[in-house]
Amino acid sequence: MDRLTSMAVFVRAVELGSFTAAADALTMSPQLVGKNVSILEQHLGVRLLNRTTRQHSLTEAGRHFYERAKIILAEVEAAESFAAEARVVPRGRLKINAPVTFGINALAPKLPLFLRQYPEVTVELTLANRMVDLIDEGYDAVFRVGALADSGLMAKTLAPYRLITCAAPSYLLTAPPLDTPEDLRRHECLIFTHTSLRTEWVFDGPTGRVTLPVSGRLLLDNGEALISSALAGFGIAMQPAELVTPHIASGRLERVLNEYQVPTRPLHLVYAPDRRITPKLRSFIDFAAAHFGEESASGNKEA
């Protein structure tokens, strides 16, 4: 028999004064109550109750065990109540990973909204452009840009990731004309060393898709550093919209090749397959969909 069950039966028998009363309260037979107490005594190696045909009394060992057992059962009940509540109320630590530029410029500014909405949740955010292992590295959810491999993980599709090609006015003032992607061959391209942007840039234009091999004298693994070089007037950059749009709005950068759009890239929130997703993770998935989903991108962002 389960030790906690036997302990609960023993405590109830002590509190109600007899096996019969305990049996009525627990909807079991008096014989089963007695069996639970006997098994508990055999396990402990001491007698807990002095029994007569009509009543029982606690031994000294039984009195000490009864006091301890009440505390243990109360703690178990509290733990079960906490677990039941945790199935409803988001709480606990969420470990999230995101690409550096997206994390700094899009995700981090939104996280305070999430934390205010769910005051019992803590978020641990790490930023990395490498492909992290969600399971082995213990992440609850990971933002991923680009096509997903068939990994068996679950994925929430978010709004596509937009890239913009731009340069500083000071660079364009003295640089060769830039009317088509082919003109980039005569320009200083700032190379982002992650993903395929290291070797080629792709555009959709009036005559279809153009794929252009690119090279440059400055290669960087961080979007913020790359844009700093663009702001310094060193060359042409292709970076995410959330990073460059504020600089374009301020006039410090200008969008180039306006007739050519960079194809969007898929953005997903990836998490482990689990039929019972915790409330903290479910709340974050819903939050990500509201702020980074298709409706958010089109201007119909949920509250």
**Domains assigned to the chain:** 3-86 (1.10.10.10), 92-160+265-297 (3.40.190.10), 163-255 (3.40.190.10)
Q: What's the CA gap between 179 and 64, in Å, rounded? A: 89
Q: How confident is the model at residue 83 (pLDDT cuts 50, 70, 90)?
A: low
Structure tokens belonging to residue 238: 């292709």
Of the candidates 268, 265, 264, the one whose C-alpha atom is nearest the C-alpha of residue 153 is 268
Structure tokens belonging to residue 53: 């045909």
Following CA atoms 99, 100, 106, 110 in sequence, which dihedral angle do they give, to the nearest 10 degrees?
A: 90
Q: Interior CA angle at 115 toward 110 and 121, to 5°?
A: 135
pTM of the model: 0.66
Q: What's the CA gap between 192 and 195, in Å, rounded? A: 8
Q: What's the CA gap between 284 and 302, in Å, rounded? A: 14
Q: What's the CA gap between 215 and 10, in Å, rounded? A: 79
pLDDT of residue 30: 87
Mean pLDDT, residues 271-291: 88
Mean pLDDT, residues 288-295: 89
Q: Note the pLDDT tens digit of each residue in 1-16.
A: 588 889 899 898 888 8
Structure tokens belonging to residue 288: 């990500």
Q: What's the CA gap between 185 and 129, in Å, rounded? A: 27
